Amino acid sequence: MVATGSGTKSGKAFYVTTPIYYVNDAPHLGHAYTTVAGDVLTRWHRQRGERVWFLTGTDEHGQKVLRTAESKGVSPQEWCDKLVEEAWKPLWQHLEIANDDFIRTTEKRHTDRVREFVQDLYDKGEIYKGGYEGPYCVGCEEYKLPGELLEGTGENAGKQLCPIHKRPVEILKEENYFFRLSEYADKLLAHYEANPGFIQPESARNEVLSFVRQGLQDLSISRSTFDWGVPVPWDDDHVIYVWVDALLNYATAVGYNQNQETFDASFPADVHLLGKDILRFHAVIWPALLMANGLPLPGRIVANGWLLVGGEKMSKSNLTGISPRQITSHFGVDAFRWYLLRAIAYGQDGSFSWEDLAARYTSELANDYGNLASRVAAMVGKYFDGVLPDASADGDAEQAVHDGLARAVAEADRKIGDDVEFQAGLLAIFEFIKQVNGYISEQEPWKVAKDDSPEARARLATILYTAAESLRAVAVLLHPFMPASSQKLWESLGAEPALGPLADQRVQEAGQWGRLPAGSTVTKGAALFPRLEEQPGA
C-alpha cells in the first residue's frame, strides 16, 4: 500500500502546486489560467480554516530555455533572472496570486537536492547506462513515439511534426542514463485502481490508463549534448533531463533531504494542477520516481484543458499568445480571474473570446452582481440613513432566501473545495445572486417605502436586511475568486468591525444566517464592476 497525500498525516498542510513554467518567454493567458486556478483553490481551503501551502515557480534548465537565451545573445542564467524578475513574478503579483513560495530550478536549494535524489536512485540500482535514438521535440522537451507524429505539409513537407507544437521533431541519438520506468507499469496501474480519484478528470484518467496498459519504456534521464542543467553526480559529462529536474521541485521546495520538519508538514502535494499537455509526466513519471525512492504519492493530479484561440491551443509558438495584462487593463484583475474559471469547465478545452468575456462581464458581473450590491447599499442609505436595520418580519419569502443560501454554500464548497470544479461552484453562487435579485424585484422595497406605518417600516427593514445579509455571504464566497471587489463589498456593508477581516471568514460560516449585525454602517461606494464604456482605456 502506497501512502497518498490527502489527509494521511495530521497537521499536514493542504499542499497545492502549479506546474513550474519554462522561462523561454513571458507568461501568457494559458500560464495564468492554471496559476489562477491554484490560487482560488488555495484561498478556498484557507477560508475553510485549513493550513495551505501553495507553490509555483519556474523551470529554467533544458534546451528550450538554452536556445532562447542563445538567440538573444545572453547567458541562460541572465535570461532567466531577467524574465523571472521582470515578467513572471510581477505578473503573479498583479494577478493577486497568494503563493507561499516561488521555486526556481537554478536555485542551489533545488539543484543540490536533485543531485541527491538521483544519486539515491542510482545507488538503488534504478538507473543504468544505455543508448537511445528517437524523434525529440524541444518544445515539449520529450522524446516522441513515432506513432504520435504528424506528417508535415507546405514548408514542412517530408518532415515529421510534434502533435502539440506542430513543428518538426529532431532525431536525437544519445548514450544516456536510463531510469527503469518500465518496471513500474503494474505498480502504477494498481495505484490508479486503488485510488480512482488520483487522476482527474475522468478523460485524463482514461488516457493515462490506456497509455500505461500498453507497457512503459525506460526513461532517458540525462543529456550529454549540452550542459545547461544539473550535472549528473557520478558523471559530469551529463546533465539531468529537464523533466526529472523539474518534477522534483515539488519535493525540494518543501525541504526534501534538507528539513524533515517542513517536508513532513507539506509533502506530498494534495493537488497538483497542470495542463493536460503535461499529464503523463505528472501521472506516470512523477509517481514512479517517488515509488522508486520510497516517498509517498500525491493525493490528486488535476489536469485542465486547453484554452483555445482560433481552435488551437493558445501558445506563443503558434503566435496565438495573449498577454494577461491586455485583458486586465480593460476588465480589471477580478473579472479576469473570474472569467477563466467561469467560462470553461475545469478539465475541458474552451475557447477564449473577447466578445464572450465582454458579454459575461456585463450581464453577470456588472448587472446581476454589481447592481445588486449598489442598489441595496443605496436603499439602506436612502431609507435608513445608512444604518442596517433589523429583520423583524421574516416570512416565507425570507425563508426561501435563507434556504437558497444554505444550498449555494453547500454546493459551492463541495464543487470547489472537494471536486476542483470551479465553474459548477461559481454557478451555484451566481444562482443565489439571481435568487436575491428576484426576491428584491418581487418584494418591491421602493413601494413598501412609500408607506410610513410601523408594519411597512418593519417589512422594509426585513427586505433590506435580507438582501444585505445575502451580500455578506456572497462577499465571503467570491473572495477566493475576486479578492478586491469582495473586499470593497465587505467594506460597503460595514461588516469588518463586527465580523473581522474578510480573509478570516470561514466558508462554513458563510451560510449561517444573521451574522451581519443590525446597526452596521452601510455605504454606497464606487461600482464593483464599472460599465465597460466607463472603464479606463475603453
**Residues placed in the known binding site for Zn(2+):** 137, 140, 162, 165
The Cβ of residue 199 has, within 10 Å, a number of other Cβ atoms equal to: 23
Determine if 34 is a binding residue for ligand MSP (CB under 6 A): yes
**Torsion angle, CA of 29/30/32/37, rounded to 10 degrees?**
130
Nearest to 519 by CA among 406, 342, 390, 432: 390
Task: Indicate the residue among 17 and 505 with the shorter CB distance to ligand MSP.
Answer: 17
User: Considering only 312-320, 335-343, 407-415, 457-465, which stretch makes contact with ligand MSP by CB under 6 A?
Assistant: 312-320
| Least gap, CB of 59 to ligand MSP (angstroms) | 3
C-alpha cell at 294: 520510497
Q: What are phi and psi of 309, to 5 degrees?
A: -130, 125
Determine if 31 is a binding residue for ligand MSP (CB under 6 A): yes
Give the integer Cα–Cα distance in Å for 495 and 174. Answer: 65
| Least gap, CB of 58 to ligand MSP (angstroms) | 8
User: Considering only 176-184, 311-319, 370-378, 516-524, which stretch makes contact with ligand MSP by CB under 6 A?
Assistant: 311-319
Cis upstream peptide for 163 (omega within 30°): no
Task: Indicate the residue among 29 and 471 with the shorter CB distance to ligand MSP.
Answer: 29
C-beta of residue 351 within 8 angstroms of C-beta of residue 340: no
Binding-site residue positions: 137, 140, 162, 165
Scanning the structure block, which residue is given the C-alpha cell 467594506? Answer: 491
- 320-339 residues near ligand MSP, rule: CB under 6 A: none
Task: Return the active site residues.
Answer: 28, 31, 137, 140, 162, 165, 313, 316
183: Cβ–Cβ under 8 A, 6 or more apart, which residues? none
Nearest to 343 by CA among 327, 331, 354, 332: 354
Give SS3 for 80. helix
Determine if 314 is a binding residue for ligand MSP (CB under 6 A): yes
User: Considering only 303-311, 338-346, 465-473, 497-505, which stretch makes contact with ligand MSP by CB under 6 A?
Assistant: 303-311
Determine if 307 is a binding residue for ligand MSP (CB under 6 A): yes
Determine if 389 is a binding residue for ligand MSP (CB under 6 A): no
C-beta of residue 98 within 8 angstroms of C-beta of residue 250: no
| Least gap, CB of 282 to ligand MSP (angstroms) | 7
Determine if 22 is a binding residue for ligand MSP (CB under 6 A): yes
Applying CB under 6 A, which of residues 274, 376, 464, 467 lies at the interface with ligand MSP?
274
C-beta of residue 256 within 8 angstroms of C-beta of residue 2: no
User: Considering only 301-309, 329-337, 360-368, 502-510, which stretch makes contact with ligand MSP by CB under 6 A?
Assistant: 301-309
Give the integer Cα–Cα distance in Å for 45 and 417. Answer: 6
Cα-to-chain-centroid distance, residue 338: 12
Scanning the structure block, which residue is given the C-alpha cell 501512502? Answer: 3
Determine if 30 is a binding residue for ligand MSP (CB under 6 A): yes
Task: Indicate the residue among 324 and 494 with the shorter CB distance to ligand MSP.
Answer: 324
| Interaction site with ligand MSP (CB under 6 A) | 19-22, 30-31, 33-34, 59, 246-247, 249, 274-275, 277-278, 304, 306-307, 313-315
